[in-house]
Amino acid sequence: METPFAFDSMLVFAWISFFLLAGIYLRARVALIQRFLFPSCLVGGFAGLVAMQTGLVAVDISSLEEFGYHLFNISFISVGLTRNEEAGAPSRPHGGMKGPLWMALVQGLTFPMQAVVGGLFVLLLGALGMELFITFGFLAPLGFNEGPGQALSIGKAWEAVGFANGATIGLTFAAIGYFFSFFVGVPLVNYGLRKGWAGPEQKKLTRDCITGVFSSNVECESAGRLTIHSGNAETLAFQAALIGVVYGVTYIIIKTAGSLLPQDAATILWGFFFFVGLGVALGLKKTMGMAGLGHLTDPGIQRRITGWSVDLLIVATVMAIQLTVVWEYILPIGAISLTIGCLTTFLVIWFGRRVPGFPLERMAAIFGTVTGTVSCGLLLLRIADPEFRTPVAYEIAVMNAFALPFVGGGTVLINAPLWWGWSVGLTILVLIGVMGISFILLKALGLVGQKNF
């Protein structure tokens, strides 16, 4: 029977939602998942991947990638619309800016390092007769350091200029990064706790945190507050409408800018939709503040929108991984990922042992971030600091502003072979220079001291 309307996109949404709920159920029931604190979106994504690969569920891969791309853009726009402080919140945490600067510079060190490793493997394997696309290895830092959204966005844009299966390869790097984040990160933080590396008075995780579901008798924090009278419009609709307007403006900007560029550059520009959208959102937030309307953008609800989009994004992108493509490139993917994972772990531990103050907490936060996402960093931090008594949870948010020049600049640099015709070797040399700048700043700002343990 033919339906009067197209249901394809809504059925994809239904499957993503189903596997997110499946992930929540498995997290609440399976001890192994609880032990490593795997988030439900990741569990649900892998459950969906298994169902897809075994033929139990048939969902169009391109539709999943489209959902992931748009959800990734929404998450960045929502971050841009989120006000920095809630009413009554302190303007600065105790501990100053050393923590955020340290984490930002460590991210500024690991991102180019991961790109350098990926690029070197492309050159090495090419010398051995395995020809890979010129930016193959540069997908690794996007997957590890930035997460599946960025890996999908840039990988898909590179497909349009000749990189076959770039999106799937990028998503695979992101999935492997998650495994490092939890299978290495959780034991590392627990080892640090046993050795007494954490601050005083640390408590064990609550049962609700382990299962991922609140008990019926627990008083939960508010998800946000109303800023629009219910007799006029729904506050959630207003917050979502702001995102919709920013999305439309960003589309016009990208489309207009693309019409002025060569075709290849214009195609890759769509991979930076999230970045332009973030800038437009920040501009709208600033404009509303100057007009006396800043109070209408509720940070609580915008954070819920960010979290909602990221959860569904991860389910969709993990489901979209094509195992046949992964198997075809298992050697370069495996070699690059293992080398990057080990070097990243070494660097984070080395600098974490020398950070001035809260060594385990800051180490946990940045390790999760540079192998997964900021959310992974917060999950690992919660093991070392369950009640967020230290300022590190705040620092990891502030860190993003300091890290933007390094991570944003690094994202531009890995496009240099396609935009400016740079060789992989030249790009690697420039990235090594960025690593050097990050290290010099860490030393010059006094963020590398004596061993804490």
Q: Could you report the per-residue pLDDT of 405-425, keeping only the tens digit for each? A: 999 999 999 999 999 999 999
SS3 161: coil
- Please report which confidence band the pLDDT of residue 85 belongs to, taking 50, 70 and 90 as the band edges: low
Q: Alpha carbon of 302 to those of 43, 281, 411: distances in Å?
A: 24, 12, 26
**Residues, the chain, total?**
453
Residue 170 has pLDDT above 50, yes or no: yes
Nearest CA-CA partner of 151 in 163, 167, 136? 167
DSSP letter (8 states) at residue 138: G
Average pLDDT of the segment spanning 322-347: 96
DSSP letter (8 states) at residue 201: T
Nearest CA-CA partner of 65 in 170, 141, 140? 170
- What is the per-residue pLDDT for 421? 93
Residue 375 has pLDDT above 90, yes or no: no
Q: Could you report the per-residue pLDDT of 30-52, keeping only the tens digit for each? A: 999 998 989 999 999 999 999 99
Q: Could you report the per-residue pLDDT of 110-129, keeping only the tens digit for each? A: 999 999 999 999 999 999 99
- Please report which confidence band the pLDDT of residue 438 belongs to, taking 50, 70 and 90 as the band edges: very high
Residue 89 has pLDDT above 80, yes or no: no
**pTM flag (> 0.95):** no
Nearest CA-CA partner of 163 in 131, 128, 190, 195? 131
Q: Is residue 38 a contact partner of residue 314, using CB atoms and an 8 Å limit?
A: no
Q: Alpha carbon of 46 to those of 25, 148, 402: distances in Å?
A: 14, 13, 33
- Angle formed at CA 54 by CA 146 and CA 152, multiple of 5 degrees: 20
Nearest CA-CA partner of 110 in 332, 357, 358, 366? 366
Place of tokens 């853009």: 73
Tally helices (H) and strands (E) across the chain.
Answer: 21, 0
